[in-house]
Chains A and B, each alone.
Chain A
Amino acid sequence: MPIRFLKRKAVCTEGVDVEAAETLHGWLLEAPGRSVDLAGCTHLHPANLQVLLASGAPVTALPADADLAAWLSPLLAPKG
């Protein structure tokens, strides 16, 4: 499972595929104030990125993968 859903935080690891976007979308809709940790993420299907951008959910950690971080950081400045 590329995303582990904790109480208030979704932790993404390795490649997050296109199907995960639907789950992520639903989880972020369930309750406000939830955040996302991308530290262990190596790839993110853009559908997931659209969910993150539309939700405005805080990203607590950018990917450790420098290349992915470079693509995402201008859009997802880490908060909190």
Chain B
Amino acid sequence: MSRLLDQFLAEARELLQGIATGLMQLERAPGDGDAMNALFRCVHTLKGNSGLFDFPEMMRLLHAAEDLMDAVRGGSLAFTPALADRLLGAADLVSALCDQVERGGDTRGPQGEAAVALATSLRALLAPSPEEGTRPLAAVQPAIDLPEAALAAARVHGGGEALHFLRYTPAADCYFSGDDPLHAVRQAPGRIWGRIVAPTDWPPLAELDAYANRLGFELLSTAPREALDRHFRYVADQVTIVPVPPPAPQADAVPDLPALLATQRATLLEADRPDWHPGRVRAVVAVLVNTARQLGRTALAEQLPALGEAFLRDDDVAPLLAAVDALAAHQAPTPEPARAEEPAAARSSLRVDQARIDRLLNLVGEMAVARNALPYLARHAARLDGGRELEREIKAQHAAISRITDELQAAIMQIRMMPVALVFERFPRLVRDLARKLGKQVDLVLEGEETEADKNIVESLSDPLVHMVRNSLDHGLETPEERRAAGKSETGRLLIRAGQEGDRIRIEIRDDGRGIDPARIRARAVERGLIAAEAAAQLSDREAVQLVFLPGFSTAAAISDLSGRGVGMDVVRTAVERLHGDIALEGSPGQGTSVRIVLPLSVAVTRVLVIESDGQRFALPIDGVVETLRVPEADIQGMANGRVIVRRGRIVPLRALNAALGVAAEPRRNSAGELAILVLQRGDEQVGLIVDDFRETLDIIQKPLAGVLAGIDAYSGSTLMGDGGVVMVLNPRRLW
């Protein structure tokens, strides 16, 4: 039963998504017959499915929605945005009811009452209009709860054929029209199960009206729907027929040790003694031995064959049963979690628990780290007498292990990849609702929904993206009147585009709205005390617009209800940076706004460059490193804001890592008097970090920092090196 329910819920969510998509499609193109039919099918299927359960409230609402859609399809009701609102609301309510059911409830309660109320108001829209006359309303079909007995019969029958469940509730006076309902159901085609449903509250026999029918009849049939309809055509108004979904196979529960032990116990207790009895017992013993070994009960495993032979000799089963019980008891309290998980690990499932994948990923990460120890070992070997050959061999092995580890890692990462469509799919509805609320017209264009990224990344993207979409609609896009006045088309355009760039995913949210005014941004930032007036004046327009990412900044004069109070772009930036991503904003007055987010495709393993400063090693994620330079002191120029170098015509501001970390030491120069500079990408800018020396690049897994270190912004984590040392991982975004 719960499998059936799970199936229903999963399908219901798909259908609800289809209904929302269909409604919005129709809203744009009310004459689209295909969209209308697809939508109608979704509603109809969902209504039919909900009829399998005792969800009368959901059924009522879906039935009303179906009738409404039918009226629209038939042309007797116009499809208006207001109608779409009502129907989307109905879909939301059904979705909420599904949630309630999933949490183990039914469809009653406040949500259920709301559903019934909405059903009534939907029906009111259907009330025969004067010109339409007497269009009959389809009766609300009572929900059908498939009786457990019928479900059991369906299971026994097996999953091969399509089954129909039929409920025949004959009218009280049906005998007078010559009906014999029992005869009718007995003659029904394809019947595999049936029962009579009788009331229990019979009146005293003397008061009984034997000719007023109070009996109901139910049956399961393999016959096609049409055949059943034909058979019951004279009493069609008293008959309900629903398809029975293919039954879940019996005993589909995953086999477990207690069940296996119980089976062996039952075999041992069999009273018959056929001539294969000894073999039967020995096979049971073989299973018990396997189980005992698996549980680590080796001593018991060794005793078991003797116990089996003793049973066969003396026909005294007690000692063997005691051994079975000992195994069952060993298993029951699941003393060691690792042990208890063993049988479960043998299941290869299509739906894998995320925790298991994460565990695999951790193991592979650790393997990558262990692999990183090999170059140290090679170097160490090289120093030995005649160690050159050993060094070469270790290096060859390192290459082989590297390749396998990389492939393994990629394979596991692949399992975790999810398309961004999972986040994007909520935008059509969000944009539609916001646009209607704001009186704006918006064309939403989604591109690259199939782009995949790690589950964590995709899931964490959801909130920032929603926020930016709200921002675009709220502040960016103008009302139709404003747009017309500005010489633009009345309908604004919002583009959300995802794409992969190497090992990064890039997401762009672009609108063609009123854009962003750097002058206003500067003024606002100064007014809020986020930046000094002189500093603001020195910023380029491009730099100035990035100020919106500062905490406490909000561009709207009045904080809008829609963007949410007190939540600004700084929250978006924080979320993006937590994922090791970058965010940049672009825009100019009248030209629309574009926000670009670049994120790694996955977060689990970080490729880092190891650097040295003041005699200490640090690691820096390599994805932000543009290049490493050796620059003569003379090439470094002093400017108002500090030291800079010029690279390919761009000014790259410099900062010493020691200074950023509060270390007094001066950067070390090499023998040629050059400084080691790491050029990093920060949004659209490049910045240079002066360090003492560059070392190797490595794949590491970052461990989050704990305790006092966790509060230090400059570090994002730590990692264990191949030589056993602990190295801090720098967070380049927080070094300035």
- Pair A55/B205 contact, Cβ less than 8 Å: yes
Per the 8 Å Cβ criterion, residues 31-70 of A in contact with B are 43-51, 53-55, 67-68, 70
Given A29-B205, A46-B180, A46-B182, A51:B195 Cβ within 8 A: no
Give the one of A21, A28, A71, A75 with max B CB within 10 A.
A71
B195's nearest neighbour on chain A, judged by CB, is A74
In the bound complex, CA of A21 to CA of B183 (Å): 15
Closest CB in chain A relative to B148 CB, distance in Å: 14
Give the contacting residue for B210; candidates A25, A70, A72; CB below 8 A. A25
- Pair B210/A22 contact, Cβ less than 8 Å: yes
| Cβ-based interface call for A18 (8 A) | yes
Q: Mark B187-231, 1 if CB is under 8 A from A, else 0.
A: 000000011101000111110101101110000000000000000
A48's nearest neighbour on chain B, judged by CB, is B210
- Pair B182/A50 contact, Cβ less than 8 Å: no
| Cβ-based interface call for B181 (8 A) | yes
A47's nearest neighbour on chain B, judged by CB, is B210
List the B side residues contacting A74 at CB < 8 Å: 195-196
Give the contacting residue for A71; candidates B180, B186, B208; CB below 8 A. B186
List the B side residues contacting A72 at CB < 8 Å: 196
List the A side residues contacting B180 at CB < 8 Å: 18, 45-46
In the bound complex, CA of A69 to CA of B355 (Å): 54
- Pair A46/B213 contact, Cβ less than 8 Å: yes
| Cβ-based interface call for B175 (8 A) | yes
List the B side residues contacting A29 at CB < 8 Å: 205-206
In the bound complex, CA of A55 to CA of B205 (Å): 5
- Pair A49/B196 contact, Cβ less than 8 Å: yes
Give the one of B182, B194, B211 with max A CB within 10 A.
B182
- Pair B183/A43 contact, Cβ less than 8 Å: yes
- Pair B213/A49 contact, Cβ less than 8 Å: no
B215's nearest neighbour on chain A, judged by CB, is A46
Given A25-B210, A74-B195, A54:B202 Cβ within 8 A: yes
- Pair A50/B186 contact, Cβ less than 8 Å: no
List the A side residues contacting B211 at CB < 8 Å: 18, 21, 47
Given A28-B205, A53-B198, A71-B196, A43:B186 Cβ within 8 A: yes
Closest CB in chain B relative to A73 CB, distance in Å: 10
Per the 8 Å Cβ criterion, residues 130-189 of B in contact with A are 175, 180-183, 186
Per the 8 Å Cβ criterion, residues 628-673 of B in contact with A are none
- Pair A50/B210 contact, Cβ less than 8 Å: yes
In the bound complex, CA of A20 to CA of B611 (Å): 102
Q: Across the A-B interface, how many residue pairs have beta carbons closer than 8 Å? A: 67
Closest CB in chain A relative to B708 CB, distance in Å: 73
Closest CB in chain A relative to B155 CB, distance in Å: 18
Closest CB in chain B relative to A53 CB, distance in Å: 6
List the B side residues contacting A68 at CB < 8 Å: 186
Give the contacting residue for B208; candidates A25, A44, A45, A67; CB below 8 A. A25
In the bound complex, CA of A51 to CA of B183 (Å): 17
* A-B pairs with beta carbons under 8 Å apart, 29 shown: A18-B211, A25-B205, A25-B208, A28-B205, A29-B205, A43-B183, A43-B186, A44-B182, A45-B175, A45-B182, A46-B180, A46-B182, A49-B182, A49-B196, A49-B198, A49-B215, A50-B208, A50-B215, A53-B202, A54-B203, A54-B204, A54-B205, A54-B208, A54-B210, A71-B186, A71-B196, A72-B196, A74-B196, A75-B196
In the bound complex, CA of A74 to CA of B183 (Å): 18
- Pair B181/A46 contact, Cβ less than 8 Å: yes
List the A side residues contacting B182 at CB < 8 Å: 43-46, 49, 71
A51's nearest neighbour on chain B, judged by CB, is B210
- Pair B208/A51 contact, Cβ less than 8 Å: yes
* Count, chain A residues at interface, CB 8 A: 25
In the bound complex, CA of A29 to CA of B195 (Å): 28
In the bound complex, CA of A15 to CA of B601 (Å): 76
Besides A43-B183, A51-B208, A54-B205, 19 new A-B residue pairs in contact (Cβ under 8 A), listed by A number: A18-B175, A21-B211, A25-B205, A25-B208, A28-B205, A29-B206, A45-B175, A46-B180, A47-B175, A47-B211, A49-B182, A49-B198, A49-B215, A50-B208, A53-B202, A71-B194, A71-B196, A72-B196, A75-B196
List the A side residues contacting B208 at CB < 8 Å: 25, 50-51, 54
B182's nearest neighbour on chain A, judged by CB, is A46
Give the contacting residue for B214; candidates A28, A48, A50; CB below 8 A. A50
In the bound complex, CA of A67 to CA of B175 (Å): 22
In the bound complex, CA of A21 to CA of B208 (Å): 11
List the A side residues contacting B202 at CB < 8 Å: 50, 53-54
A68's nearest neighbour on chain B, judged by CB, is B186
Per the 8 Å Cβ criterion, residues 522-574 of B in contact with A are none
List the B side residues contacting A47 at CB < 8 Å: 175, 210-211, 213
Per the 8 Å Cβ criterion, residues 83-128 of B in contact with A are none
Closest CB in chain A relative to B209 CB, distance in Å: 9
In the bound complex, CA of A49 to CA of B61 (Å): 38
List the B side residues contacting A48 at CB < 8 Å: 210
In the bound complex, CA of A49 to CA of B186 (Å): 15
List the B side residues contacting A67 at CB < 8 Å: 186
B180's nearest neighbour on chain A, judged by CB, is A45
In the bound complex, CA of A15 to CA of B215 (Å): 19
List the B side residues contacting A43 at CB < 8 Å: 182-183, 186
In the bound complex, CA of A54 to CA of B208 (Å): 7
List the B side residues contacting A54 at CB < 8 Å: 202-205, 208, 210
List the A side residues contacting B175 at CB < 8 Å: 18, 45-47
Give the one of B175, B206, B213 with max A CB within 10 A.
B175
In the bound complex, CA of A67 to CA of B206 (Å): 31
In the bound complex, CA of A70 to CA of B185 (Å): 13
B193's nearest neighbour on chain A, judged by CB, is A70
In the bound complex, CA of A18 to CA of B181 (Å): 11
Give the contacting residue for B213; candidates A25, A44, A50, A71; CB below 8 A. A50
Give the one of B195, B196, B204, B214 with max A CB within 10 A.
B196
**Which 7 residue pairs across A and B have the least CB separation, nearest first?**
A54-B202, A54-B208, A21-B210, A55-B205, A46-B182, A47-B210, A51-B210
Closest CB in chain A relative to B104 CB, distance in Å: 30
In the bound complex, CA of A43 to CA of B182 (Å): 9
B214's nearest neighbour on chain A, judged by CB, is A50
In the bound complex, CA of A25 to CA of B180 (Å): 18
Closest CB in chain B relative to A20 CB, distance in Å: 10
In the bound complex, CA of A20 to CA of B520 (Å): 96
List the A side residues contacting B203 at CB < 8 Å: 54
Closest CB in chain A relative to B394 CB, distance in Å: 78
In the bound complex, CA of A51 to CA of B212 (Å): 11
List the A side residues contacting B204 at CB < 8 Å: 54
List the B side residues contacting A44 at CB < 8 Å: 182
A44's nearest neighbour on chain B, judged by CB, is B182
In the bound complex, CA of A49 to CA of B183 (Å): 13
